Chain A
Amino acid sequence: DAGVIQSPRHEVTEMGQEVTLRCKPISGHDYLFWYRQTMMRGLELLIYFNNNVPIDDSGMPEDRFSAKMPNASFSTLKIQPSEPRDSAVYFCASTFSVTKGNTIYFGEGSWLTVV
């Protein structure tokens, strides 16, 4: 079975440019998460969706960040305009419904460098 699929794997962009990260969750999973990993802040949750609806976006740093989930098999995380401090590894993850024990499965991450 395919896991969580993220694209691009690596992106280098210039400050001020728009960045779009993409994610395809595991088929049948109805929770989707976006995490960011940096040396300074570790792994932090940005936003998560349940049945395509954003449930908690309190981790989204500021208005420059936006996330959408137009259907059950696709989500995007957009940064506009990008800044050097946005450089990080961005993970998408998914899981089945709400029961506490369902394991969250991660994609391979998107490495973003903003210069």
Chain B
Amino acid sequence: AQTVTQSQPEMSVQEAETVTLSCTYDTSESDYYLFWYKQPPSRQMILVIRQEAYKQQNATENRFSVNFQKAAKSFSLKISDSQLGDAAMYFCAYKPRDNLFFGTGTRLTVIP
């Protein structure tokens, strides 16, 4: 079975501080992609960052970066210099072939 686990239902961070959201996944595949999606109250699913499993270098997009540990099947998201607009649900997703498998999400609150 292919599963994605987000063990933190809720997280909070002070504005301008750094927060890390955790994600683990279970797979027997060797080649796949991992994604973080953001879902604000509008419910739109917005791509934050993606990681290719065959690349050892961690992906970075501005204030967002990942810590990808393939052997541990771990894919955490670090948000630096948190902003009020970062408040949202964050979903980790795993893509072995055609489909995306989602975690249950982490609700991030940003405290002014």
Contact A42 B99 (CB under 8 A): no
Q: Classify the interface of chain A: helix, strand, loop or mixed.
A: strand
* Interchain CB contact under 8 A, A100 and B99: no
Is B104's CB under 8 angstroms from A89's CB? no
Contacts of B44 in A (CB 8 A): 106, 108-109
Q: Which residues of B contact A2 (CB under 8 A)?
A: none
**Roughly how many angstroms separate A45 CA and B99 CA in the complex, as a whole number?**
8
Which residues does B use to contact A, with CB under 8 Å? 31-33, 35, 37, 42-45, 47, 50, 52, 91, 95-100, 102-105
Which residues of A come within 8 Å of B, CB atoms?
A: 31, 33, 37, 42-43, 45, 48, 50, 55-56, 89, 91, 93, 98, 100-101, 103-106, 108-109, 111
Additional 18 contacts, C-beta under 8 A, given A91-B45, A101-B95: A33-B99, A33-B100, A42-B102, A45-B99, A48-B99, A50-B98, A55-B98, A93-B45, A98-B98, A101-B33, A103-B35, A103-B50, A104-B95, A105-B47, A106-B44, A108-B44, A109-B43, A109-B45
